[in-house]
Amino acid sequence: MSSLNLDANILGPLLDKKKIKLKAFSTFKGGIFALFYFIPLIRNSDNNCYLPIIFRNFKNVEKEIKFIVDFSLNKVKNLGSFFSFEKLLGTDIHPAILHYISAEIDFLIFEDRKKLIQNSVFDYSGPEIAKYFNLIGEEVKRTSKISVEDIKKLITQAVSFNANFVARPKWSLSKLIFNDSDLKPIEEIRLSLNYVYYYEYLKNILISYLNKKKSVSLTLIEFEVLLNKIDKELFFCPIK
């Protein structure tokens, strides 16, 4: 069976259309200011089924993104020059932004661990060792100090990603995970999905699919075909 057939026996049971559509629409409850108030939806004719009206009415989306960034930065100005992620959680920054920052810290810890393993003479593979690495990662994340300058960059990235992701989920997700690469390990794809706050139904389907699929990597083309398959099965929005 070709990999582009996407193992229908795996994907099929994950697509409970009735339940998932309800979750898809709930994406916009809480979601441009806080993008993140309820955003009305309209039928769209491109590669996304629905588009927030806000993105059709505002010509200068960048201005709205900057406003959300500035509003969020104002909430951390009293935390000092360096502070922990734990302290950041004590602010009322929107959870989509906190979710993105949390995922970025996790990914940086993963990258650091990968360098350690690659340069080591010992074998660090195995579930028991992985469990302890995860515990170490949680402690590093909890106690490490982050500069306010780094937080400014992360908040800007988080707002920009979420603004694009709500309007263009397939494009934004492919760009986030693969960037300029044509192939990514499954482990990295799973970690990248942790950045996702909205469209939880999509994240859950992708993680379940990756967990069941017997593969160590996925190409960009396979990933895009998978997203299109999910979109078509759930919403059936033909491109006009």
Kindly tell me if the per-residue pLDDT of 212 is higher than 60. Answer: yes
Would 240 be classed as within a structural domain?
A: no
Would 164 be classed as within a structural domain?
A: yes
> How confident is the model at residue 198, as a pLDDT?
86
Q: pLDDT digits over 149-199, tens only?
A: 999 999 999 988 988 888 788 899 999 999 989 999 999 999 999 999 988
Would 188 be classed as within a structural domain?
A: yes
Higher-scoring residue by pLDDT: 191, 215: 191
Q: pLDDT digits over 92-134, tens only?
A: 888 899 999 999 999 999 998 888 888 888 888 788 888 888 8
- Residue range of the domain that includes 88: 3-235
> How confident is the model at residue 52, as a pLDDT?
44
Q: How many domains does the chain have?
A: 1
> How confident is the model at residue 11, as a pLDDT?
55
Would 118 be classed as within a structural domain?
A: yes
Would 163 be classed as within a structural domain?
A: yes
Would 52 be classed as within a structural domain?
A: yes
- DSSP assignment string, the chain: --GGG--HHHHGGG--HHHHHHHHHHTTTT----------EEE-SSSSSEEETHHHH-S-HHHHHHHHHHHHHTTTTTS-SEEEHHHHTTS---HHHHHHHHHHHHHHHHHHHHHHHHT-SS---SHHHHHHHHHHHHHHHHH-EEEHHHHHHHHHHHHHHHHHHHH-HHHHHHHHHHTT-SEEEHHHHHHHGGG--S-HHHHHHHHHHHHHS--SEEEHHHHHHHHHHHHHHHH-----
Model pTM score:
0.76
> How confident is the model at residue 222, as a pLDDT?
93
Q: pLDDT digits over 29-76, tens only?
A: 333 443 443 333 333 334 444 444 444 444 556 777 888 888 889 889
> How confident is the model at residue 14, as a pLDDT?
53
> How confident is the model at residue 120, as a pLDDT?
83
Would 210 be classed as within a structural domain?
A: yes
Q: Among 2-16, 172-186, 208-222, which is the least confidently predicted range?
A: 2-16
Q: Distance between CA 218 and CA 79 in Å, rounded?
A: 41
> How confident is the model at residue 13, as a pLDDT?
54
Higher-scoring residue by pLDDT: 231, 12: 231
Would 215 be classed as within a structural domain?
A: yes
Kindly tell me if the per-residue pLDDT of 90 is higher than 80. Answer: yes
Question: What's the mean per-residue pLDDT of the chain?
Answer: 77
